Amino acid sequence: MAGDPVADKSGFLCMYMSNHPDTLVSYVRYWGKVTAQVSSAKMTRIDTKGMTLTYQVKGSTDTKEVRIEFDPPLLGYEEVKPRLMDMKAEAEEELGMTRAPQITSFRYSPKFMTTIIAMSFLVYCTLARSLASSEYAPIFTAGNLILSYLPSWSLQFSWGMVSVAHGLESLYVLYLCKKHRTGVVVGAQYVLATLLLGFPVIGDLRKQVQDARIDSIMKGK
């Protein structure tokens, strides 16, 4: 007996959809016919006949489950994306979900700390080399020791990688800020933070947008 072509890739699909919590909430509310204020949702299984989602409602930590059947069932794996996209579009329209919610404040995330530490270390090593002969040299002894084990071009290469990556990421953030009408001050904060810290800022901005989209469902119905 042939296996289910969608169920065979269920793990990958669930992991992919975990990056779209706002879409999962819309599935639960509209297709799962859940009238409560759903605050978060997670896909736990999908096959040709339907998908299973777990969710939590606002003000509660209890996890509930809902099964959404596909009508008609999927004929194969290649039908997953178009079907889910169609279901997403219908659910968001019917629920009144805001497609591009306005972001009005800059939000600091603890996830920034990893990059802050990494960038601080890079600056420390850079200063260690440039101040090696100064009165401040003892402060940078550890940095010079580390650099002695690395190629001479390592600092230049690191700064080059940071400049290119963070520069491109800041352009994307500028686009997001324009799309979500952050205003000049908040937009400048996000762009500057991205130039300094890179991807974690993008991740948190996207999370803020997803939270706002979920909140728009709660307010809409």
pLDDT digits (tens, 9 = 90+) for 186-199: 999 999 999 999 99
Q: Summarize the confidence of residues 68-86 as an average pLDDT.
A: 95
Question: 2 falls in which pLDDT band (50, 70, 90)?
Answer: low
Angle value at C-alpha 107, between 208 and 119, nearest 5 degrees = 110
Q: State both tokens at 131.
A: 């101040």
Q: Summarize the confidence of residues 11-34 as an average pLDDT.
A: 95
pLDDT value at residue 1: 41
DSSP 110-171: TTHHHHHHHHHHHHHHHHHHHTTTSTTGGGGHHHHHHHTTS-TTHHHHHHHHHHHHHHHHHH
pTM of the predicted model, to two decimals?
Answer: 0.76
**Can you tell me the distance from the alpha carbon of 60 to that of 12, in angstroms, rounded to the nearest whole number?**
28
**Can you tell me the distance from the alpha carbon of 20 to that of 35, in angstroms, rounded to the nearest whole number?**
20
As a residue count, the chain comes to 221
Give the percent of the chain with pLDDT over 70. 98
Domains observed in the chain? 7-95 (3.20.180.10), 112-220 (no CATH)
Residue 75 three-state SS:
coil
Q: State both tokens at 186.
A: 């908040």
Model confidence at 171: pLDDT above 50: yes
Tell me if 54 sits within 8 A of 42, measured CB to CB.
yes
Question: Residue 39 is inside which H or E element, if any?
Answer: strand 38-46
Question: 131 falls in which pLDDT band (50, 70, 90)?
Answer: confident
Question: Residue 90 is inside which H or E element, if any?
Answer: helix 80-95
